[in-house]
Each structure stands twice: as C-alpha cells, then as structure tokens.
C-alpha cells in the first residue's frame, strides 16, 4: 500500500515541530524573564530598568505568539490534514493542534496580568499537545504495522511511554510551582526548575523529530518500492 499523502504531510509536520522547538525556547525565556522580574523587582529602584525589563518580556511574548500561531499551528494543521487522508488518526492530531494553539495563546495573554490563569491555560495546552503527539505516533504505528515494520512500531510504543511521562512531568511542574510560589525563595527555586523543564521539553521534541524523520524515510522507501513493483 502507498502512503503518498502521509509522506507529504509528515514533511510539513516536521517543519511545524522545528518551529515548536523555537517556540518552546522563546516561551521558556519569557517565563524565566517573568519569574526574574517578579522576584527581583523589589530591589530594582530605577523605573527605567523596570520598563526595559517589561519591554523585553513583551517582545519575547510577541515573537512566541508569532512562532506559535503562524508557523507551528499552520504547518501542523496542514501536515496532519494531508496525512489524515491515508490514516484517520492524524485527523485527531490536527484537532489537537488547533485546540492546543488556542489554549496556549490565551495563556500567553494572561502571562503578565494573571500568573495563575497563565499557568492553567498553558498547562491545558500542554496536555492537549500531548494527545496530538500520541495520536500521531499511534497513526505511524498503524502504518508501520501495515508495512510489516515491527521494529518501527515497537520503537513507537517505547516513544509513546516516554512522551506521556515527560508531558505529565511538565504539567505537574507548572502546577506545583504555581501553587507553592509563595515566597522569594520559592520563586528562585522555580526559576531553576523552569530551566530544567525547558531542557526536558526540547529533548522531548528532538525525540519526536527523530521518529518523524525515520517514519518519513520508511514511508518514502515503501512508496518507492510500490512504484517500482
């Protein structure tokens, strides 16, 4: 069986995931800036310094919004839609991309005025994003089984467990830090935890990118063999 639509769709999903890494880095930077400003604003005496800090924070949020809405969501939606013509699981991923993007953007808008709402919406967006990747990997597992590539489907099963585990850690980290962020000391700790979480998020995206790239090669080879046959 040939999976021409999946092959084309995965190429766009790969691009969307590259932009998601950029967005994650920008998001992590804005979170760290927000935490730093909140922690040290009492020791900053010059209003101009505070203004500059807020301007940098706003610029970071703006770039993150652009990267998320224009790049990640558009490429993701188009890619999953194309792939869904051959494998229905990708349609669920497409819906999750849209929902995750909306929740994340709403959360970003509340980043400065209301930290609690920012955490709730972005955490919800993270959970929905987890389902996007879960459905996509499940779709690729279905395809690999139809192509008798049990090695690739087993690799997908392992990746699913890793992805769910890391997403749960990210979601719990965001909620716990917000709940227990009651003192300056706790805020300082949260800065280091957020930095460690950013490394975890980037590592997670890299794992998914590698799997997508392997899937693209597997499907391209299968399509080429079918064409020759």
Is residue 63 within 8 A of residue 28, CB to CB? The reply is no
- The answer to whether residue 181 scores a pLDDT higher than 60 is no
- The answer to whether residue 184 scores a pLDDT higher than 60 is no
pTM: 0.83
pLDDT, tens digit (0-9, with 9 covering 90-100), for 111-135: 656 667 777 888 888 899 999 999 9
Q: Which residues have C-beta within 8 Å of that of residue 15, sequence separation ≥ 6? A: 71, 75, 79
pLDDT, tens digit (0-9, with 9 covering 90-100), for 187-225: 666 667 777 888 888 899 999 999 999 999 999 988 887
pLDDT, tens digit (0-9, with 9 covering 90-100), for 59-82: 666 666 666 667 888 999 999 999
Is residue 12 within 8 A of residue 75, CB to CB? The reply is yes
Average pLDDT, the chain: 81
* Mean pLDDT lowest among 6-15, 93-102, 169-178: 169-178
Closest CA to 128 of 177, 76, 160, 92: 92
Where are the chain's structural domains? Answer: 4-228
Q: What is the pLDDT of residue 113?
A: 60
* Mean pLDDT lowest among 90-94, 119-123, 145-149: 119-123
């Amino acid at each position: 069986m040939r999976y021409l639509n999946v092959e084309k769709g995965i190429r766009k999903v790969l691009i969307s995931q590259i932009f998601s890494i950029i967005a994650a880095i920008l998001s992590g930077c804005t979170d760290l800036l927000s935490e730093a400003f909140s922690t040290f604003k009492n020791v900053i005496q010059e209003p101009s310094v505070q203004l500059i800090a807020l301007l940098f924070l706003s610029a970071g949020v703006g770039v993150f919004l652009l990267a998320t809405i224009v790049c990640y969501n558009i490429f993701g939606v188009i890619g999953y839609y194309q792939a869904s013509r051959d494998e229905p699981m990708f349609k669920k991923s497409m819906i999750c991309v849209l929902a995750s993007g909306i929740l994340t953007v709403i959360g970003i808008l509340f980043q400065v005025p209301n930290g609690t709402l920012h955490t709730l919406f972005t955490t919800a967006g993270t959970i929905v994003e987890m389902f996007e990747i879960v459905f996509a990997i499940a779709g690729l597992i279905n395809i690999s089984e139809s192509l008798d590539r049990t090695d690739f489907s087993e690799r997908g099963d392992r990746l699913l467990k890793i992805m769910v585990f890391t997403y749960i850690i990210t979601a719990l980290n965001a909620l716990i830090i917000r709940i227990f962020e009651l003192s300056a000391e706790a805020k300082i700790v949260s800065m280091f935890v957020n930095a460690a979480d950013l490394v975890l998020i980037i590592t997670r995206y890299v794992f998914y990118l590698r799997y997508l790239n392997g899937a693209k090669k597997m499907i391209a080879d299968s399509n080429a063999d079918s064409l020759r046959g």
